[in-house]
């Protein structure tokens, strides 16, 4: 069981990551407003097994359905941080739960992991920052919000991210992670 202090520390680190990497590098142009207006829910999941995790995931979906002030939720799973393959079944179960409950028009998911790497991209490339986080995270987004914001975008976010991150040196990437860890 995680202590309240460890939970607070995990949330603080995750918030620094959102602020420094996601918003700071503008990897997700949709993140800034909900972050500034406290509409992002940060929830640390300390389930001991996949069934306990699934129960907590469903409760988060229900909470978001009931509380329209929550724009997006980051479910943080620090216990699954060491190996990407341990996290993947949890994320896949979340995706299946969304489909099983026919909730694709309400919610969509994005995953982040400290060791996430894209196939065909060098492990030390800054381009991997798009999928990396200090902890494994299941990001729950409201589908209508994503669709509305996406329709208003003038540029392709992925292309812009790729251009920006290709220019970053390994030293710059390390400096960002150091800032998060401070």
Q: What is the pLDDT of residue 30?
A: 87
Reported as a single tens digit per residue, the pLDDT across 121-135 is: 888 889 999 999 999
- Tell which residue, 21, 59, 19, has the closest CA to residue 43: 59
Q: What is the pLDDT of residue 84?
A: 76
Sign of the dihedral through C-alpha 56, 73, 14, 128: positive
Q: What is the pLDDT of residue 29?
A: 84
- Tell which residue, 55, 2, 3, 20, has the closest CA to residue 182: 20
CB 138 within 8 A of CB 57: yes
Reported as a single tens digit per residue, the pLDDT across 69-124 is: 999 999 999 988 777 788 889 999 999 999 999 999 999 999 999 988 889 988 88
Q: 19: which 2 tokens? A: 């602020």
Task: Round to whole Å and give the CA distance between 180 and 19.
Answer: 9
């Amino acid at each position: 069981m995680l202590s309240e202090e460890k939970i607070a520390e995990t949330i603080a680190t995750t918030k620094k990551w959102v602020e420094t990497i996601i918003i700071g590098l503008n990897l997700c142009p949709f993140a800034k407003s909900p972050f500034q207006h406290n509409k992002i829910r940060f929830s640390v999941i300390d389930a001991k097994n996949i069934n306990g995790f699934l129960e907590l995931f469903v409760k988060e979906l229900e909470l978001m359905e009931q509380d329209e002030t929550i724009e997006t939720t980051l479910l943080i799973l620090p216990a699954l941080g060491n190996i990407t393959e341990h996290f993947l079944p949890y994320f896949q179960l979340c995706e299946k739960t969304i489909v099983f409950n026919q909730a694709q028009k309400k919610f969509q998911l994005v995953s982040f992991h400290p060791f996430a790497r894209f196939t065909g991209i060098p492990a030390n490339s800054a381009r991997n920052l798009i999928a990396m986080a200090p902890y494994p995270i299941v990001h729950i987004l409201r589908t209508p919000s994503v669709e509305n914001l996406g329709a208003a975008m003038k540029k392709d976010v992925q292309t812009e991210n790729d251009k920006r991150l290709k220019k970053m040196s390994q030293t710059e990437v390390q400096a960002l992670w150091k800032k998060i860890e401070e």
